Structure 1
Amino acid sequence: MKLMALLAFALSLFGVDIGGSSFVTRTVVDGAEVLHSRATSEAGSARFECVRSASGQCHYTVYPRTCEADDCEPLKRFALANGDSRQVPGLHRFQLCVSADGDTPGPDCEPAQPIATR
């Protein structure tokens, strides 16, 4: 077991991701489910599934995992209808923001702040 952990750590130093990640996003407002989404990532490919969204669509914004809030562009942006799924090859080490509306969140998944003008 220790040998496997050491091997996985050594490979991660060279950018090889042998593990997988799972993302489940559920938003409940006043007792009603507004959003339910699932995503999995394994071996450089990611699968996104919009289980249910009150708006009829799940809006996905995918950022690099090492994203800096000041200087970060999304890797991908797309929407899926209720019940749809999408396989995206070539995605490695990412962070995910999902919402029921089409707003583009920042890498912290918070709504983008308007630029103050004077």
Structure 2
Amino acid sequence: MAELDVIARLLLSPLLLILSACGIGGTSYSNRIGSDGHDVLYSKAQVKDGVARFECRASDSGACHYTLYPDACAGKADCTLAPLQRFSVARGETRQIAGIDDFRVCVGTDARPLRADCAPAARAP
């Protein structure tokens, strides 16, 4: 009987290791702006296996407005690369986009364009 336990453990160990690897990985982003204990903006995004999921949990305007930049632009106000995508997600809703992996998330409560450092773009005179 003890031999069966040893054999079962030897057979199950690799299987458990393989199963534990499932679901590992991906990148998560969280953006939260609060004021007096109130969430003015709360957004979460997760990228896994080439699929990005954007969730607008709270926004005083009723929507989260996203601008996605190439990862090479991270934090660079003077980045000359164009945004990968711009889109909005209504408060309480989610959106999935397949085929994107390396990007920088900028999100705001209004549709004003955001630079690669996530600051609002200067308005034209």
Answer whether TM exceeds 0.5 for this pair.
Answer: yes
Aligned to 1:62: 68
Letter of the structure 2 residue corresponding to residue 60 of structure 1: Y
1:47 aligns with 2:53: yes
- Structure number with bigger Rg: 2
1:107 corresponds to which of 103, 109, 116 = 116
Contact 2:65 2:111 survives alignment (8 Å): yes
Kindly indicate which of the two structures has a greater share of residues assigned to helix: 2
What is the letter of the counterpart of residue 89 of structure 1? A
Q: How many residues align?
A: 99
Does the CA-based 8 Å contact 2:79-2:116 persist in structure 1?
A: no
CA drift at 1:111: 1.0
1:12-91 to structure 2, matched below 5 A, reads 19-67=25-73, 69-91=78-100
TM-score after normalising by structure 2: 0.72
5+ long unaligned stretches in structure 1: 1-17
1:115: Cα distance to partner? 5.9
Whichever residue aligns with residue 55 of structure 2, its letter is E
How far did residue 114 of structure 1 move?
Answer: 4.1
Runs of 4+ in 1 over 4 A off after TM superposition: none
Q: Distance in 2 between matches of 1:102 and 1:114?
A: 13
Percent identical pairs in the alignment equals: 44
Amino acid at match of 1:42: K
Cα distance in structure 2, aligned partners of 1:115 and 1:98: 21
Measured on the aligned residues, the alpha-carbon RMSD in Å equals 1.8
For normalisation by structure 1, the TM-score amounts to: 0.76
More displaced stretch, 90-99 vs 61-70 = 61-70
Please list the CA deviations of residues 8-62 of structure 1 after superposition, one character each: whole Å capped at 9, or x if unmatched.
xxxxxxxxxx941100111013442100111000111100001111100000000
